[in-house]
Structures are given as structure tokens and as C-alpha cells.
């Protein structure tokens, strides 16, 4: 419900900006949503739902403890190791589990502060609505990763600068501007700027392939189209992993060293081919999960 002119007061501004459950590291709530829920609590706020959410949060914390106790991927990557001493599979697993720990590291504070907000009677958007290993679309991945921030950016930055309604080229330029802002919002850091620009670069193939291979032209060959989408999804997953490793884990030099040691031998190429085949099969499973969700009327738009 849109806020009334009288709601735009200094008192409401302070209450919104300093709202304790979301102030430090919680999901991002728009001003209109905050004012509306303060006046009319949502029907989704129930004791049972909040308790179940708390149980899920506890499981996430225990999962993080389990990973940190038995997986040393972060410690190894932070120690600036000699990458050549690891096999291609070990290097890939270091990168893969690094990303999962980053996922959990961000998920836990977001879940905690959202739980606090739910207990207070305010229901903010959920971040990270899908598991990291259940994403094959770069666009959908970023909509779901920091979902509340994505909604805020779309409302206050992406649409005001033109959005996607002025052609694909303009949309890509707007996308680059948005991810540059996102990188600077995280920190004024060259590594994060490169991450933001890589994201824009890696989204381009998905946008172009969507234009070149529209689903409506493959209605008579659904199996072939699904195979084509599986190949594209495999490339998307590899690019998203690379971008996030640069931005949040090992940086550009670490990624170059890791990739160089993977593709620097015949065994490495054999492993890479096998890994791509595994990701292709995983993408087909994800496609079926999405179809199952559609049949149940579930649409998370990511």
C-alpha cells in the first residue's frame, strides 16, 4: 500500500532508517513496505511460522559449524598456497566449497536479522531464496542472492535510469551501472569492481542466447531445446563460480593460478570435461525441479 504524504515525516524516516532488527546486516525493506506493515501487520506473521523459521536458522548455523570443522577450503585459499601442488579435482573442490562457505557466511546473518524482524511483527523480503547449487541462470541467481537489495535497486536505481525498456544495448549499459554501484556499495575495492564488471560480462551470453534461441521457436523439438539450455546453463554456472571467486575469495591472481593449473595438463582437461558433464546433468535436474514447482503453482522468479 503506498504511503500517504503525511507518512513522509522526520520521525518515520528515523524509525525506518534505524529499525534495529534490519539496521546492521538484515534484509533491505523499502520505506513504503515498512510504513504499511507498521500500520497493517501481514497475515503471514504467525507464531508457528516464526518458530519454524528459527529452527531452519539453527540448522543453517549447525551446517556452517560442520563445514568449518571438516572443510579447510577457506584456510587453504587464505594461506596463498602453491596451487601447483593440488590436483585439478582438489583445486575445483577448493573453489566449490569456498563458495558454499561464502554462501553460508552471508545467509546466517541475513536469516538471523530476518528472524528478529519476524519476531517483531515485520516481514522483510527473504534473501538467498535458492540453494547456491540450485542456480543455473546468472540473472536469476543475482535476483535471488540479495533479493531484498535487488528489489531496492530495481525500484530506486535501475528503473529511474531507464531499466530495460529502451533496448537491449541500453539495458546492458544500465546493468553495468547498477553492478558498479553494487560493488562500490560493498566496499571501494578494485577486486569488487572487477567482480561487478565480470558479472555484467558473464550475463551477456545468457541475454544473447535468449535472443538467439527463443523457446517459442523450439516447440516442436523440446528435447533438443532442453539440451541446448543445458549447455548454456553449464557455461553460466562456471562463469558465476569464477566471478564470485574473484570478488569474495581468492581474487584475480588466485583464480588465474587455479585455472592455469587445472587446464595446464591433459589430466586437467579430462577432469574439466567430466566436470562439465556433471554440471550438465545437474542443470537437467534443476530444469525438472523448476517444472515441478510450476505444476505446484510455485513461482519464486529466480
**How does pLDDT run across 6-60, given as a tens digit for each residue?**
888 899 999 999 999 998 888 988 888 899 998 888 888 999 999 999 999 999 9
Report d(CA 269, CA 247) in Å as an integer. 25
157 pLDDT more than 90: no
Q: What is the pLDDT of residue 169?
A: 67
Residue with grid cell 554462501, as numbered in its chain: 103
Of 125, 97, 127, the closest CA to residue 110 belongs to: 127
Report d(CA 34, CA 199) in Å as an integer. 31
Average pLDDT rounded to a whole number, residues 283-291: 89
Average pLDDT rounded to a whole number, residues 218-223: 80
Catalytically active residues, by annotation: 186
pLDDT in tens, 162-171: 776 666 667 7
More confident residue, 244 or 13: 13
Q: What is the pLDDT of residue 89?
A: 80
Q: What is the pLDDT of residue 165?
A: 64
Helices (H) and strands (E) counted in the chain, each on its own, are 13, 0
Of 264, 246, 253, 268, the closest CA to residue 80 belongs to: 253
Average pLDDT rounded to a whole number, residues 256-269: 77
Report d(CA 241, CA 160) in Å as an integer. 30
114 pLDDT more than 90: yes
Q: What is the pLDDT of residue 50?
A: 95
pLDDT in tens, 82-101: 777 778 788 778 778 888 88
Of 149, 155, 140, 117, the closest CA to residue 300 belongs to: 140
Q: What is the pLDDT of residue 295?
A: 86
Q: What is the pLDDT of residue 188?
A: 67
Report d(CA 283, CA 232) in Å as an integer. 9
302 pLDDT more than 60: no
Average pLDDT rounded to a whole number, residues 267-281: 87
Global pTM reads 0.78
Q: What is the pLDDT of residue 135?
A: 82
Of 8, 10, 29, the closest CA to residue 20 belongs to: 29
Of 207, 212, 209, 210, the closest CA to residue 170 belongs to: 207
Classified as helix, coil or strand, 256 is helix
Average pLDDT rounded to a whole number, residues 236-245: 76
DSSP state of 296: T
Arithmetic mean of pLDDT over the chain? 82
Report d(CA 233, CA 212) in Å as an integer. 15
189 pLDDT more than 70: no
Amino acid at each position: 500500500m503506498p504511503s500517504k504524504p503525511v507518512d513522509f515525516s522526520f520521525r518515520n524516516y528515523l524509525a525506518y532508517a534505524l529499525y534495529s532488527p534490519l539496521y546492521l546486516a538484515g534484509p533491505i525493506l523499502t520505506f513504503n513496505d515498512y510504513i504499511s506493515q507498521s500500520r497493517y501487520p501481514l497475515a503471514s506473521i504467525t507464531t508457528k511460522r516464526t518458530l519454524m523459521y528459527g529452527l531452519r536458522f539453527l540448522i543453517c548455523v549447525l551446517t556452517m559449524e560442520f563445514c568449518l570443522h571438516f572443510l579447510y577450503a577457506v584456510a587453504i585459499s587464505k594461506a596463498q598456497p602453491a596451487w601447483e601442488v593440488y590436483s585439478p579435482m582438489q583445486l575445483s573442490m577448493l573453489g566449490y566449497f569456498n563458495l558454499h562457505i561464502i554462501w553460508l557466511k552471508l545467509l546466517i546473518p541475513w536469516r538471523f536479522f530476518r528472524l528478529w524482524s519476524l519476531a517483531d511483527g515485520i516481514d522483510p523480503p527473504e534473501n538467498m531464496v535458492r540453494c547456491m547449487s540450485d542456480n543455473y541462470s546468472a540473472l536469476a541467481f543475482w535476483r535471488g542472492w540479495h533479493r531484498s537489495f535487488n528489489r531496492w535497486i530495481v525500484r530506486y536505481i535501475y528503473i529511474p535510469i531507464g531499466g530495460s525498456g529502451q533496448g537491449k544495448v541500453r539495458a546492458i549499459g544500465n546493468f553495468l551501472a547498477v553492478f558498479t554501484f553494487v560493488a562500490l556499495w560493498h566496499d571501494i575495492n578494485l577486486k569488487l569492481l572487477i567482480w561487478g564488471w565480470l558479472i555484467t560480462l558473464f550475463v551477456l551470453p545468457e541475454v544473447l542466447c535468449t535472443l538467439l534461441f527463443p523457446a517459442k521457436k523450439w516447440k516442436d523439438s523440446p528435447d533438443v531445446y532442453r539440451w541446448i539450455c543445458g549447455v548454456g546453463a553449464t557455461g553460466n554456472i562456471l562463469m558465476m563460480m569464477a566471478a564470485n571467486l574473484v570478488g569474495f575469495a581468492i581474487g584475480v591472481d588466485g583464480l588465474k593460478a587455479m585455472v592455469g593449473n587445472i587446464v595446464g595438463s591433459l589430466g586437467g582437461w579430462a577432469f574439466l570435461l567430466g566436470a562439465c558433464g556433471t554440471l550438465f546433468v545437474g542443470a537437467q535436474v534443476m530444469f525438472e525441479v523448476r517444472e515441478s514447482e510450476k505444476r505446484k503453482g510455485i513461482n519464486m522468479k529466480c
